[in-house]
A and B are shown apart, each in its own frame.
Chain A
Amino acid sequence: MPTLNYLCPTTSSELKKILKKKKTDSFILAGGTDLLVKIRHNVVKPKEIIDIKKIKKFNEIKLTKTQLNIGCAATLNEIAENKTIKEKFPAIADGSLSIGSTQIRNRGTLVGNLCNSSPVADTVPGLLIYDAKIKILSPTGTKTVSIHDFITGVGKNILKKNEIVESVILPLPKNTKSAFLKNARRKALDLSSVNVAVGLFNKSKKNPDIRIAVGACAPITKRAQKAEKFLKKNGLTDETIKKAAKMLPISPISDLRGSKEFRNKIAHRLFIKLATQLGEV
């Protein structure tokens, strides 16, 4: 590894000063489970590392009356074990729990998963169905953007070089059931060939407020708006679910984790399984 300058601010104001001077060869370090692999393979060559974990409030998972705030240093295991997240946002809890292994989840963060912006990221489908908001911190202050505008390409997002994600905000939903499923070659330590999150946000089977996101099947994981609209209009039955499966916005590629045809089939199957389960109870 080349020589590095390591910075470890302990307050937001200290961090803001550092961000003001941040150059393009300076990288934010959360759990490091993506970044250290990239450094090892010379994909990135940082001159400076900014460790954000020692800022106390970044580690918090905080519930208010209307929303849940997940700080950027909260680990995947803290998230997967959090009672409120398991209850109200199971697609986030299960997505987090499906990542890597115990050791990876003890270090890796949800915000790191999001900022890495890989099409296979397992927490992203959940963030999409809960309409997450992303709180961005820059030297001049904070702003909030929609998750739907955050990821802009494979490994790309809207963050400018002197911005970081401070937290992810999940509005508390009423009357919901939701779930996440992932298909991988083995249970632990494997990236998804397909991952799916589906949520039902009202109690109506006739006009279901259903939200669907299928990941690892396109450069950017997005909500399946066409399928959602179709189901809202035509109700949730075995037949409409099968039809909706054909409307998923997926254009999978073939790679070592599965062929195009395989991914298409698995995406349909996972979606049908989840949508049917949600419609049942």
Chain B
Amino acid sequence: MKTITFTINGEKETRDVSESKTLLNFIREDLHLTGTKEGCGEGECGACTIILNGKAVHSCMMLAVEIDGCDVETVEVMSKDGNLDILQEKFIEHNAVQCGFCTPGMLMSARALLLSNPNPTVDEIKTALEGNICRCTGYKQIIEAVSDAAKGGKYE
């Protein structure tokens, strides 16, 4: 066990964690934030995407102990007091959600993009989402939803 201190969705936390636990399992099992999904467990699908110090990363490819001193965001950061984030609203509006399994990862990749680049081109959106696989939608609706959410360049 090791004690780590980190920020999760804006709140500072200190926890004991097993050195051999992946960040994904820590988020789901210890923090009980089950929005983050496990698809492949090895970097191929993007379902486990979270934001670490402002960058989209796979939580399945990290040890939980690595987040000591870091800022972590999971999909739960997005809605506030029952109000959806603009990205979430646009995903619904554009039918960019079917089974929904890829959606938390897609949202986190899109959020990381818009936070660092509020006016992305379609190509930049595609690059940001290239690591997120969706078996249902065919991607078109997802890209449209992100473009639409970015309109005005004021994502926060």
Using CB atoms and an 8 Å cutoff, list the residues of chain A in contact with chain B: 1-6, 8, 29, 31-33, 36-37, 40, 49, 51, 53, 77, 100-104, 106-107, 187-189
Say yes or no: B58 contacts A104, CB within 8 Å.
yes
* Nearest residue, chain B, Cβ from A101: B131
Say yes or no: B63 contacts A37, CB within 8 Å.
no
Q: How far is the CA of A29 from the CA of B57 in the complex (A)?
A: 16
Q: Please, which residues of chain A bring their CB within 8 A of the CB of B22?
A: 1, 36
Ordered by A's residue number, 25 sampled pairs between the chains whose C-beta atoms are within 8 Å are A1-B22, A2-B20, A3-B18, A4-B19, A6-B63, A8-B68, A31-B61, A32-B61, A36-B62, A37-B43, A40-B41, A40-B42, A49-B19, A100-B43, A101-B43, A101-B131, A101-B132, A102-B56, A102-B130, A103-B43, A103-B61, A103-B131, A104-B43, A107-B58, A107-B62
Q: How far is the CA of A13 from the CA of B42 in the complex (A)?
A: 33
* Nearest residue, chain B, Cβ from A104: B43
Say yes or no: A6 contacts B58, CB within 8 Å.
no
Q: How far is the CA of A188 from the CA of B126 in the complex (A)?
A: 10
Does B46 belong to the interface (CB within 8 Å)?
yes
Using CB atoms and an 8 Å cutoff, list the residues of chain B in contact with chain A: 2, 18-22, 41-44, 46, 49, 52, 55-58, 60-63, 65-66, 68, 109, 112, 127-132
Say yes or no: A32 contacts B62, CB within 8 Å.
yes
With A6-B2, A100-B43, A103-B49 already in contact, 15 other A-B pairs whose C-beta atoms are closer than 8 Å = A1-B20, A29-B63, A32-B62, A33-B43, A36-B43, A40-B41, A51-B66, A53-B66, A101-B132, A102-B56, A102-B130, A104-B61, A106-B55, A107-B62, A187-B130
Q: Please, which residues of chain A bring their CB within 8 A of the CB of B129?
A: 102
Q: How far is the CA of A191 from the CA of B82 in the complex (A)?
A: 42
* Nearest residue, chain A, Cβ from B45: A189
Q: Please, which residues of chain A bring their CB within 8 A of the CB of B44?
A: 189
Q: How far is the CA of A33 from the CA of B63 in the complex (A)?
A: 11
Count A-B pairs with CB separation below 8 Å. 85
* Nearest residue, chain A, Cβ from B55: A106
Say yes or no: A188 contacts B130, CB within 8 Å.
yes
Say yes or no: B130 contacts A107, CB within 8 Å.
no
Min Cβ gap A42→B in Å is 13
Q: How far is the CA of A37 from the CA of B55 in the complex (A)?
A: 21
Q: Please, which residues of chain A bring their CB within 8 A of the CB of B109?
A: 102-103
Q: Please, which residues of chain B bring their CB within 8 A of the CB of A104?
A: 43, 58, 61, 131
A31, A49, A104, A187 — most chain B CB neighbours (10 Å): A104
In-complex Cβ contact of A107 among B21, B42, B46, B61 (8 A): B61
Say yes or no: B61 contacts A33, CB within 8 Å.
yes
* Nearest residue, chain A, Cβ from B48: A103
Say yes or no: A103 contacts B57, CB within 8 Å.
yes
Which 7 residue pairs of A and B lie closest in terms of their CB atoms, listed nearest first? A101-B131, A188-B130, A1-B20, A6-B19, A106-B55, A4-B19, A4-B20
Q: How far is the CA of A277 from the CA of B92 in the complex (A)?
A: 46
Q: Please, which residues of chain B bring their CB within 8 A of the CB of A106?
A: 52, 55-57
Min Cβ gap A27→B in Å is 12
Say yes or no: B46 contacts A103, CB within 8 Å.
yes
Q: Please, which residues of chain A bring their CB within 8 A of the CB of B131?
A: 100-104, 188-189
* Nearest residue, chain A, Cβ from B46: A103
